[in-house]
Amino acid sequence: MNKIANRQLAKEILKNRYLYILLLPTVLYYVMFHYYPMYGVLLAFKEYHIRDGILGSPWTGLSNFEQVVHQPDFWRAFYNTLIISVGRIVFEFPAAIIVALLINEVAKAKLKRFYQTVYTFPHFISWVIISGIMLNFLGESGVLNQIIAAMGFDKVTFLTDPSLFRPIVFLSNMWKEVGWSAIIYLAAIASINPELYEAAYVDGANRYQQMRAITWPSIRGTAAILLILAVGNTMSVGFEQIYNLYNAGVYETGDILDTYIYRTGFTDGASFGVTTAVGLFKAVINCTLLFTANYTVKKLGGEGLV
Amino acid sequence: MENTETQIRADSSAEPMAKRRGKRIGIADVIIHSILMLMTLFMIFPFYNVVLMSFSNTVAISKQAVYLIPTVLDLSAYDYIFHDSRFWNAFYVTLFVTSVGTLVNMFATVTGAYVLSKKGYPGRNIIMSGILFTIFFSGGLIPLYLAMKDIHLINKLLVMVLPVAINTFYLIICIAFFRTLPAALEESAKIDGANDIQILYKVILPIAKPMVATIALFYAVDRWNEWWYGVLFMTDTKFLPLQALLREILTNFSMLQTNINASAVLTKGMHPEMLKMAILVVSTLPIACLYPFLQKYFTKGVMIGSIKG
C-alpha cells in the first residue's frame, strides 16, 4: 500500500519536474532569507558569543527577557509604539476613507485623475527624501518658520520638540500615504453598479444619503481587512519613517521598539541576545494580535483575512 | 477575472456619476473642491520649494526670499554635486542595485508566481503556506544581520539585491494575475509538446507583458529607494547607495565637508541647504520620470484586488 502511494507520488513529481525547476529560485529565496535567519531567534534564550556562533553559544533560559523588562527605555519604546499605533488607526486610517469618498464625489473624470495623481506621488518617494523635504519645510530656518516669523510670531522647533513629534509623525505619514491608501477604496467604489445611484437619485436620496447607503457599504469589507492588517502590525509602526525623523531630543515620545532594537543592538552595543529577545517579543505580540483581530472580525460577521 | 472587471468599470464610472447629479453645482461641490484643492497645494508646495532652493544661491537664501517666487537661477549646487566623486560612487551603486536588482526580482517573482498559480502538484500547498507565514512572522533584525554575516554578504553589493529578491505582496499579485489567463492556451501548447518552462517564456509572458511591466516598475522604484540595507549591512562607505549618502548628508553635513575642504565650499558661495536640496532633486527625478507609467497601471486597478491573498 505504502509502496504504491510512494510510486504514485514519484510519478507525479516526475511529471511536474519542470514546475519544480521553475520554483527552485523562489524556494531557495524563502529558505535562505526568511527561514534561515529565523533560527537566530534562539539567541533570545542565549548569551551570544561571536566565536561560538548562534548554536554554540550557551543557553541562559529567560534571563535575556528579565534584563529587558528591567530597562526603563524598553518600556518607554513599548509605550510609544502602542500610542503611535493607536494614533495611526484613529487618525490615518479614516483619513484614507474620507479622501476616497471626497474624490469619488468629483464628477469630472479628468479632475478626479488629477487629484489622484497628485496625492499618490509621495508614496513612491523614500522616507530619506521626505525627511529632507520636511527638514526644508519644518526646520528652524524652514519655510514654515519663515512664514511664522514674517507674521511676527516666535519660531517653532517642530522637529526637536517632543510634544510635537507624534502629530508630525501622523501628519507626514498621511501626507505620504493617503492617496495610495485611498486607491484601494476607490477601486472598490468603482465596482459599484451606477444604476444603484441613479435609482437612489430618482427616489430623492441626497448625496450624503447616497454615500451612506450605497458607497459606504461597498467599501466596508475592504476597510475591515485593512483594519485587521493594521492591528496585526501594532508593534511595527513604520521604522523607516521614525528612524529618518527622530533625534535624541524626541526619544521620550518618538523612540519605538524597532528604533530601540537597532540603536541598542548596533550603536550602543547592547548584547545581541537581549535585542533579539525584544524582537521576538514584538513578533509574538504582532502575530497574536493579527489572529485575534481576524477572529473578531469573523465573529462579527465580516469577511476575514485567513 | 475580478481585476479586469474592476478596470473596465473604473474607466466608465465617471460619466454616469455626472448624470445622476445633474449639471448643477451645489454648495457641497464647492466645499469638496476647496478641500481637495487645498490638499493639492499642500502636496505640491514642499516639492516646489525644494526645487526652488536647489536652483538658488547663498545670497538669495540668506535674504530668505526664496520661499515663494524664484529670484535667481543658479546651477552651482548641481555643478558641485556632479563634480563630487562621492556622489558618482553612490550613484553607480544605486544604478547597479536598481538594474541588477530589478532583473533578479522579475526572474524570481515571475517564475515563482507562475508555478504557484497552478494547483494539484505535490508540495504546492505546503510551499504556499510557508511563503505566507513569512508575512506574519520574521526572526527580527539581529538574526537577519547574523544570517547575512554567516553567508558573507556584509559589504557586498548583492546584500541589497538578494535578500529582497521577492516581495511577497508582488508575488501574490502576480499569482492572482496568472490565474486570470485562459487555461486553453497552455493546454494547446502542451499538446504541441512544449514543457512548462517553454510555455512560461513563449506563451504566458508575451500575453502578460503589461502586468510584468507594472511589477518591474514597482520593483525598480523600490530598488532605487534602497537605503536601509546600505546603512545596516555596509560598513565600508564606498558601498553606500545614493539615498544612504543623502541620509548622511542630511543628518550630518560635515560628512560631505570631510571630503572637500569646508572653507572651499563656503568661498565658492555654497550654502549647505542648496546642496542638500540639489541631491534631493536628483534622487527624486528618476521616480518622477517613471511616475506617469506607474500611474497608468495602478489607477486602473492592476495592483489592487489581491490584498485578500
Q: Structural domains in chain B? A: 1-10+76-309 (1.10.3720.10)
Of B15, B197, B309, which is closest to A21 when you measure between CB atoms?
B197
Name the H helices within B151-195: 168-179, 183-191
Question: Would an 8 Å CB–CB cutoff place A129 in contact with chain B?
Answer: yes
Please give the distance of CA B304 from its chain centroid, rounded to a whole number. 17
Q: What angle do CA B170, B175, B176 make, to 5 degrees?
A: 95
Probe site for chain A from B4, B142, B303 (most A CB atoms < 10 A)? B142
The Cα A175–Cα B43 span in angstroms is 7
Integer CA distances (angstroms), B186 to A11, A26, A142, B4, B190, in order:
21, 22, 60, 20, 6
Comparing CB atoms, the residue among A186, A276, A286 nearest residue B142 is A276
Could you read off the pLDDT tens digit of each residue along chain A, which spans 306 residues?
Answer: 577 888 888 888 888 899 999 999 999 999 999 999 998 999 999 888 888 888 888 899 899 999 999 999 999 999 999 999 999 999 999 999 999 999 998 888 889 889 999 999 999 999 999 999 998 888 887 888 888 888 888 888 898 899 999 999 999 999 999 999 998 898 888 888 888 988 998 988 888 899 989 999 989 888 888 888 888 888 888 999 999 999 888 999 999 999 999 999 988 877 899 999 999 999 999 889 988 888 887 887 776 665
* CB interface of B with A, residues 103-122, below 8 Å: 107-108, 111-112, 114-116, 118, 121-122
Please state the pTM of the whole predicted model: 0.88
* End-to-end CA separation in angstroms for chain B: 14
What is the pLDDT, as a whole number, of residue B28? 85
Q: Which residue of A has its CA nearest to B52?
A: A136
Q: Which of residues 46-65 of B touch A (CB under 8 A)?
A: 46-47, 49-50, 53, 64
In chain B, what's the furthest Cα-to-Cα distance? 76
CA contacts within 13 A on the Cβ side of B5: 9
Q: Which positions of chain B have pLDDT values less than 50?
A: 1-16, 18-19, 254-267, 301-309
Judged by CB atoms closer than 8 Å, whether chains meet at B140 and A280 is answered as yes
B244 has a chain A CB within 8 A of its CB: yes
Instruction: State ipTM.
Output: 0.88
pLDDT given for residue B101 in this prediction? 97
**How many whole angstroms separate alpha carbon A55 and alpha carbon A48?**
9
The one-letter code for the residue type at B298 is: F
B46:A18 CB<8 A: no
- The answer for residues whose C-beta is within 8 angstroms of residue A59's C-beta and 6 or more apart is A45, A46
The residues, ordered by sequence, that sit 6+ positions from A27 with a Cβ below 8 Å of its Cβ are B127
CA–CA separation, A148 vs A153, rounded Å?
A: 6
| Helix ranges restricted to H, B22-140 | 27-54, 58-62, 76-82, 85-116, 124-136
Q: CATH topology for A71-299? A: MetI-like fold (1.10.3720)
Assign A247 to helix, strand or coil: coil
d(CA A198, CA A251): 54
A144: exposed, middle or buried (Cβ count in 10 Å: 0-12, 13-18, 19+)? middle
> B298: closest CA among B161, B120, B173, B162?
B173
**B130 vs A30, A119, A240: nearest CB:** A30
Query: In this predicted model, what pLDDT tens digit does every residue of B177-188 receive, in sequence order?
Result: 898 888 888 888
Rg (CA), chain A: 25
Say how many Å lie between the first and final Cα of chain A, rounded.
35
Closest Cβ opposite residue B295 in set A30, A33, A117: A117
Instruction: Please return the burial class of A148, using the count of CB atoms within 10 Å of its CB with bins 0-12, 13-18 and 19+.
Output: middle
Residues B141, A12: C-beta atoms closer than 8 Å: no
Q: At what angle do helices B2-12 and B14-21 cross, to 10 degrees?
A: 50
What pLDDT, on the 0 to 100 scale, is given for residue A192?
86
Q: Which residues of A touch B115 (CB under 8 A)?
A: 19-20, 22-23, 26
Which residues of chain A are in CATH 1.10.3720.10 domains? 71-299
**Chain B interface includes A43 (CB < 8 A):** yes
pLDDT at residue B257, as a whole number: 44
Total Cβ atoms within 10 A of residue B58? 18
Listed in sequence order, the DSSP H helices in A109-254 are: 109-120, 127-138, 143-150, 162-190, 194-202, 207-210, 216-231, 239-245, 251-254
pLDDT at res. B258: 44
Q: What is the CA radius of gyration of chain B?
A: 25
Record: contact B308-A258, CB cut-off 8 A: no
Cα angle, residue A18 at apex, residues A12 and A22 outer, rounded to 5°? 125
